[in-house]
Amino acid sequence: MSFDLDSLIRPNVRVMKPYSSARDEFQGDARVMLDANENSLGSAGPAEFNRYPDPHQHAVKQALAPLKGVKPEQVFLSNGSDEVIDLLVRLVARPGQDSILSTPPTFGMYEVAAALNDVALERVPLDADFQLSEAAIAQIIASKAKIVFLCSPNNPTGNLLRPAAIEQILRGFPGLVVVDEAYADFADQPSWITRLPEFDNLVVLQTFSKAWGLAGIRLGMAFGSPEVMAYLNRIKMPYNVSENTQRLALAALADTGRFEAMRQDLLQGRDTLRVALAALPIVDHIFPSDANFLLTRFVPDAGAVYQHLLNQGIVVRRPSQAACAGTLRLTVGSAAENDALVAALREFSPAG
């Protein structure tokens, strides 16, 4: 397969001139800053919050790049992964003409991004084991879609897609292959970031929302070739990541020991929760998980179990996709939250 990025990019994007913000035109320190129509009198919070943030998040990228084994120009930061998913669709798919591809059951934002951008969504379902069959791989490679989104570990199923299947697609599919690794920190497998030098069409998504414990700051990460990242920077909003988010991300990146301790606690919690759930008679099957949740099939009625938990003040997720019928997605919480979940499930009576 020959990958040609420029021919994949929408023609209007190739020729557009990106917006040049005040902080693009001047970087550094000056005695008097009167270029961006900011309020020089200050703000109610830290003094620097009255100034626009770095539009390209240089400090965060400089801290993040060595941790991920890439160069800063291979990093794109976004307002959550949702933003970069939307931007990738806008980058290559022409409204009303092109398509993108996903592999249900999977993360619902790919479908939302397609609908929002008036782009068709091709669906190539996973098999009964939530993997890509040889027929599915062949169908993806033959597709005319501009992007294939592969969520691994997958949401809502929790499992990693087979690396050999992803590699086949990377070698055969002529468009962008986006591997969404929001849950990769919980998996015992190297990130696809390590394979970026091999594949110009590979984009890897990660997030601060899961293992880093920072869902509230809304910071997503994309990794890819400098050329793809440059195009994303061309079409993003000027100040898409706030000053506060950048500061909190830098603080987290300076404390990787806390990140690792928290990750290990969640992995231990996942194992403990799995054992406890397996002992319950209402649990029919617990699917393998490489994420921080367990997709669990309940009998005789997952809907009744969901309502019972809700009555106990415990909220879990009911997957809406047909392939996950009869299941609930249970996030691994704190030890106390996991205990409360199991205790409530023990009290469930199918008779009401």
Q: Mean pLDDT over all residues of the chain?
A: 95
Output the six-digit token pair for 230.
């440059």
d(C-alpha 343, C-alpha 277), whole Å: 10
Residue 346 has pLDDT above 80, yes or no: yes
pLDDT value of position 315: 98
Would residue 78 count as lying in a domain? Answer: yes
The mean pLDDT value for 248-252 works out to 97
What CATH number is given to the structural domain containing 331?
Answer: 3.90.1150.10
Task: Write out the residue range of the structural domain in which residue 262 sits.
Answer: 257-346
d(C-alpha 300, C-alpha 327), whole Å: 11
Task: Pick the range with the lowest mean pLDDT from 30-39, 160-169, 171-180.
Answer: 30-39
Cα 138 to its chain centre, rounded Å, is 25
SS3 311: helix
d(C-alpha 45, C-alpha 184), whole Å: 35
pLDDT tens profile 216-243: 999 999 999 999 999 999 999 999 999 9
Would residue 143 count as lying in a domain? Answer: yes
pLDDT tens profile 18-51: 898 988 888 888 888 888 998 888 766 666 798 8
d(C-alpha 204, C-alpha 240), whole Å: 19
Domain boundary among 198, 225, 254: 254
Task: Pick the range with the lowest mean pLDDT from 45-59, 106-120, 178-192, 290-304.
Answer: 45-59
Same domain, 267 and 306: yes
Same domain, 165 and 195: yes
Same domain, 293 and 204: no
Would residue 263 count as lying in a domain? Answer: yes
Same domain, 249 and 261: no
Residue 193 has pLDDT above 70, yes or no: yes
- Of 56, 49, 80, which is closest to residue 243 (Cα–Cα)? 49
Same domain, 134 and 214: yes
Same domain, 188 and 290: no
Would residue 210 count as lying in a domain? Answer: yes
Same domain, 247 and 326: no
For 140, list phi and psi in degrees, rounded to 5.
-65, -45
Domain boundary among 210, 237, 254: 254
Q: Assign 184 a pLDDT band (cuts: 50, 70, 90).
A: very high
Would residue 351 count as lying in a domain? Answer: no
Question: pLDDT > 90: what percent of the chain?
Answer: 88
SS3 43: coil
Same domain, 185 and 308: no
Question: pLDDT > 70: what percent of the chain?
Answer: 98
pLDDT value of position 41: 86
Q: Assign 182 a pLDDT band (cuts: 50, 70, 90).
A: very high
pLDDT value of position 262: 96
d(C-alpha 17, C-alpha 25), whole Å: 14
CA triple 195-196-199, angle to 5 deg: 95
Would residue 352 count as lying in a domain? Answer: no
pLDDT tens profile 262-281: 999 999 999 999 999 999 99
The mean pLDDT value for 101-127 works out to 98
Contact 127, 106 (CB under 8 A): no
Same domain, 246 and 273: no
pTM of the predicted structure, to 2 decimals: 0.96
The mean pLDDT value for 315-339 works out to 97
pLDDT value of position 1: 62
Same domain, 247 and 265: no
Would residue 217 count as lying in a domain? Answer: yes
Number of domains into which the chain is organized: 2
Domain boundary among 254, 275, 306: 254
Same domain, 26 and 131: yes
Output the six-digit token pair for 296.
């669990």
pLDDT value of position 44: 66
Q: How many residues does the chain have?
A: 352
pLDDT tens profile 118-159: 999 999 999 999 999 999 999 999 999 999 999 999 999 999
Would residue 318 count as lying in a domain? Answer: yes
Same domain, 284 and 211: no
What CATH number is given to the structural domain containing 188?
Answer: 3.40.640.10
